Structure 1
Amino acid sequence: MPADPRAVLTRPAPAPQLTVTYGDHPDQVADLRWPAGSGPARPLVVVLHGGFWRVEYDRRHTDPLAAALAADGYPVAQLEYRRTGQPGGGWPGTFTDVLSGVAALPVLAAEALPGRVGAVAPILVGHSAGGHLALYVAATAAATVGGVLALAPVADLAEAYRRDLDSGAVAALLGGGPIEVPDRYAATDPRLLVPTRTRTVVLHGSEDLQVPVEMSREFVAEATAAGSDISLLELPGCEHFGLIDPESTAWPQVLDSLRSLHVDH
């Protein structure tokens, strides 16, 4: 693992082959990456980036992750969406964007890459705030999602608000706290949307300083008790960014978890 775990955020990676649009806004786009090799068609993997939903962070920091998934034989789409700090970001634009993008991308990817994209719902791979968005889409539009790999997700918005993660990130996303805007939390907080019927694997490092692992432990325990098809893999010694770093010791477990969410046909 690199000395600076954040190095993956700016590490160069191969450019995507194509950018497609799913809406009229400049951020309603996704980058497509072709799968390496000539294996069977696989489900599209839609990558939802983190950054606490803020405009300062975009999909570029997931380039190494997305390139590595494509190198492993997956068709990949890196979904962009409007974020807080820009017009239309936050409630409700961020949420409508990811719902629209996830629904549209399988067709867009199949048109761009005939024969290599499985005719099934995509697998969502979301990191941090992107993990929250993946869980949200699966809970509210289950038919559009074939599985979720949530990497250090913000799985409990009310608790993230109480902990003041990233200095008010949840309040910026939803326009207030659970007392001020309870209906928005009820509609978007994964902890309040269980059970879900989408197969979900949660990975979280024990040394995560950005999103405490306790949040995933409590969320998965509650989701399991409610009847969700969900499991948690806690990675000892892993911090927040190792989960999206193909050069980290955590990466083989990320790949194994993704493979567990589908079967090649």
Structure 2
Amino acid sequence: MSDEELDVAYNVRRKAGPELFDRHMARYKDMSEHAVDGLPGHPGIVYDEASGERLDVWGVGGDGLRPVFVFVHGGYWVALSRGVSSFMARTLHEQGVATVVPDYTLAPAVTLEEIVRQVRASIAWVHRHGREHGLDPGRIVVGGSSAGGHLTGMAMAGGWQAPLGLPEDVVKAAMPFSGLFDLRPLTRVYVNQWVKLDLERAAALSPALLPAGYRCPAVIAVAEHDGTGFLRQSRRFQPHWGAGELMVVPDRDHFDVVLDLADPESAVCRALLGLVRAT
């Protein structure tokens, strides 16, 4: 593909246009604030001493340990935060599921390798300290959107768990949305001015090119009206993973598909709850 074609395939903000993009971002913020207003939880916990990054725990209850959905926000690794990424927390709480939303240091302040390390550290924190906060460390489901979908894929990959003292199956199920699973094309698009990848590093950070280890159940979700690059990546990653299904969500775009997690009647939310219950 030419550089221009790659930009069309992966520049979903331009595809949406400024008005629609701003409306989506306002929904992220408003829905997240509403979701956690009065919700039992433990916000602002430092999960990684090296970086000082924090996470929020939402939707814990007095009925014993709850399965947990760890949601990793998107923003092409350079934007957004946990504060606008908890829009599903109330819905999941009502279904008996807790939500953990970690921040990670944004590029270009750190490398993408460091961002991956931090996200994996957040999962390690849930496994080690979850019980103290009402979370079941044996029932961790990880998901994320866009760049968060890539980071979900890096949590699904094998080989990182043992050095952190974690079981290979610490991630019991996964649901990446509009994920980036092969980063090599991104070395030629605008986002690389911040993440600064070469082909060798891009390959080493690509879930589709890494050994899988334990193949957890997964739903690989992507929007019908997503960027063509994201659609192509999801369709290729699903058979590579080999332990999940591809869900192309109709009438949704790159930014609003993940908001369906706040609607318990949506196919997206039902799919996530199915993964949780299967743990």
* Alignment partners' CA distance in 2, 1:210 and 1:74: 33
Structure 2 SS opposite 1:92: helix
TM-score (structure 1 length as normaliser): 0.80
Q: Does 1:191 align with 2:208?
A: yes
Farther off after superposition, 232-241 or 104-113: 104-113
What does residue 20 of structure 1 align with?
45
Instruction: Give the share of equivalent positions with the same residue, in percent.
Output: 21
Write the deviation string for residues 135-158 of structure 1: whole angstroms up to 9, x where unpaired: 101103343211111111112211
TM-score (structure 2 length as normaliser): 0.76
Matched positions, count:
243
* Alignment partners' CA distance in 2, 1:22 and 1:29: 6
Output aligned runs, 1:56-95, within 5 Å: 56-86=79-109, 89-95=110-116
Write the deviation string for residues 139-182 of structure 1: whole angstroms up to 9, x where unpaired: 033432111111111122113334x2xx224x633x3231xxx1
Write the deviation string for residues 12-51 of structure 1: whole angstroms up to 9, x where unpaired: 322563122122256521101124684x744211111111
Contact preservation (8 Å) 2:66, 2:97: yes
What does residue 48 of structure 1 align with?
72
Q: 1:159 aligns with which of 182, 185, 188?
A: 185
What does residue 59 of structure 2 align with?
34
What does residue 145 of structure 1 align with?
171
Structure 1 SS opposite 2:220: strand
Q: 1:109 aligns with which of 130, 140, 146?
A: 130
Q: 2:254 aligns with which of 215, 222, 240?
A: 240
* Alignment partners' CA distance in 1, 2:194 and 2:139: 31
Per the TM alignment, residue 247 of structure 1 is displaced from its structure 2 partner at its CA by 8.3
Per the TM alignment, residue 210 of structure 1 is displaced from its structure 2 partner at its CA by 8.5
What does residue 172 of structure 1 align with?
194
Write the deviation string for residues 117-136 of structure 1: whole angstroms up to 9, x where unpaired: 33414100111111110110
Write the deviation string for residues 37-69 of structure 1: whole angstroms up to 9, x where unpaired: 84x744211111111111x32112212123332
Write the deviation string for residues 82-118 of structure 1: whole angstroms up to 9, x where unpaired: 12032xx2233111111111111133231022xxx33
Per the TM alignment, residue 194 of structure 1 is displaced from its structure 2 partner at its CA by 4.9
* Alignment partners' CA distance in 2, 1:242 and 1:20: 28
More helix by share: 2
